Amino acid sequence: MRPFPRDLVEARTSLLFGYEVADHPDRGLYLTPTGALTHSRNSLATAWDSRGGLTQVLAHQARLESFGGVAGRPLEGAATNLCLRSENFGTTWAAIGTPTRVAAAKRAGMLVLDLLGDDAAGNLEGYSQAVTFTANAVKAVAVYIAQGTSTSSVVRLRDTSAAANRLLATITWSGGVPSVAMTTGTLIGVENGGGGVFRVLLQTSSVTSANTNQLEIYPATTSALVTTGTGTLYVGGVQAENALWPGSYLPTTSATVARVADVLTSSLLVDPQDCTVLFTSRRPTWADVSGALGAHQYALSWGASGARFALYGDASARNLVASLHDGSGAQTVSAAIPAGDIACAVQLTGFPDAPTVRLDVGGGFSSWSTATARIASWGSTLLALGDNAAAAGTPWNGSGRIWRVLPGLLTLSEALGRR
């Protein structure tokens, strides 16, 4: 465990707790009055830089990203990239036809993209690699691309055993921006970090893990896989995961690469009282995934047991949920995740005899929750940012920006302006 690798700056503040990365590195952290911030993640990790490229950090090192010109702090769960040679189509990948390839033709920070080309109007050309998934389920695929000369390209996951497509995404370009049409599978989104490099986030249909599932990239063809197309596409950073949606990129070479969960915690030695919790985040990928997520996505939680509070994205519906737990049961309120980035204020009041909670995600406060049983003290002082203090390992899976706990009941705009 180590602190954020920057100076801790004393701020004259009325905060009970505050952590914010939307600042320059000298002032990236505001002190909690009762405990240091600690972070661990015993593996490498990556994030977007300001230019649409990739930065990579060492194990345990705090990860900052810049997306849309705003800094954020990615906090994610464990993940493994199953695709080998994620940035090198010259090895492990099998050629389909006789594609052209310019190795490392484009750099985007630490990311390297090969320029793949189809120069034969009569043949379908590209690259393929069999990916070994576990369990029959929907899987996540992501790929970084940049525009070449091709007008239409295809990413496909082919079950060669069953002769069926599990994913077929067709990429076309307009004004320098990719448009992705799905024949099979689901498009979660296209991330534009700037600099002309985009990350396409995809979901397959349910794969049969015992079969051979082959990931295929065709630089110049259509959804009908016509053989007449020619042209080039920059491709790199291919990722395939046993997950419902792709996490941040994990570069691979000869073997799969795993990332363990980020753990960012502090302690908050404050009695239950009227207070407002503020949380802001870049829109997480899972906010655009339909169906069940498998687990709640925790933005902040306070207390590891007994009486505790948590704010999370709901596993079954795309709602933000504020949960106040009295030790034997929880009362919750929720609101649908709005479009765009997330800013949420949660008010807690009524301590100790009739504690209640309500939240605002930008459309006004919800109704107050039903009051819980008496809460005279919190079950523990553990404050987990982007995770569940009561059951670590259910992280936010997104890029948080501001976490604040402020005294008194404030509106969302007041909480955003208060430091």
Residue of 43, 55, 208, 222 interacting with other proteins (CB under 8 A): 55
Beta-carbon contacts of 329 under 8 Å, excluding residues fewer than 6 positions away, are: 372, 373
Q: Which stretch binds other proteins (CB under 8 A): 42-50, 136-144, 259-267, 325-333?
A: 42-50
Interface with other proteins, residue 109, by CB under 8 A: yes
Q: Residues in the chain, how many?
A: 419
Token reading at 414: 């007041």
Closest distance to other proteins from the beta carbon of 226 (Å): 37
Q: Which stretch binds other proteins (CB under 8 A): 84-92, 120-128, 335-343, 411-419?
A: 411-419
DSSP secondary structure letters along 368-381: PPPP-S--SS-S--
Residue of 43, 106, 107, 265 interacting with other proteins (CB under 8 A): 107
Token reading at 27: 């002032």
Interface with other proteins, residue 56, by CB under 8 A: yes
Interface with other proteins, residue 24, by CB under 8 A: yes
Of 155, 123, 146, which Cα lies nearest the Cα of 232?
A: 146
Distance of alpha carbon 109 from alpha carbon 62, whole angstroms: 18
Closest distance to other proteins from the beta carbon of 133 (Å): 30
CA distance between the termini of the chain: 26
DSSP secondary structure letters along 138-177: --EEEEEEEE-S-SEEEEEEEETTTTEEEEEEEEEEETTE
Residues 69-88 contacting other proteins, CB under 8 A: 69-71
- Total residues contacting other proteins by CB under 8 A comes to 40
Distance of alpha carbon 323 from alpha carbon 343, whole angstroms: 17
Distance of alpha carbon 319 from alpha carbon 330, whole angstroms: 17
Of 201, 210, 34, 62, which Cα lies nearest the Cα of 133?
A: 210
Q: Which is nearer to other proteins, 227 or 411 (CB)?
A: 411
Interface with other proteins, residue 153, by CB under 8 A: no
Backbone angles phi, psi at 380, to 5 degrees: -160, 170
Q: Which stretch binds other proteins (CB under 8 A): 46-54, 118-126, 264-272, 373-381?
A: 46-54
Closest distance to other proteins from the beta carbon of 50 (Å): 4
Closest distance to other proteins from the beta carbon of 250 (Å): 16
Q: Which is nearer to other proteins, 40 or 208 (CB)?
A: 40
Residue of 57, 137, 181, 260 interacting with other proteins (CB under 8 A): 57
Q: Which is nearer to other proteins, 55 or 80 (CB)?
A: 55
Residue of 58, 94, 103, 269 interacting with other proteins (CB under 8 A): 58
Write out the H or E segment, with its range, that includes residue 200. Answer: strand 197-203
Interface with other proteins, residue 341, by CB under 8 A: no
Q: Which is nearer to other proteins, 69 or 329 (CB)?
A: 69
Backbone angles phi, psi at 412, to 5 degrees: -60, -45
Binding residues vs other proteins (CB under 8 A): 1-3, 5-6, 11-12, 22-26, 38, 40, 42, 47, 49-51, 53-61, 64-66, 69-71, 107, 109-110, 417-419
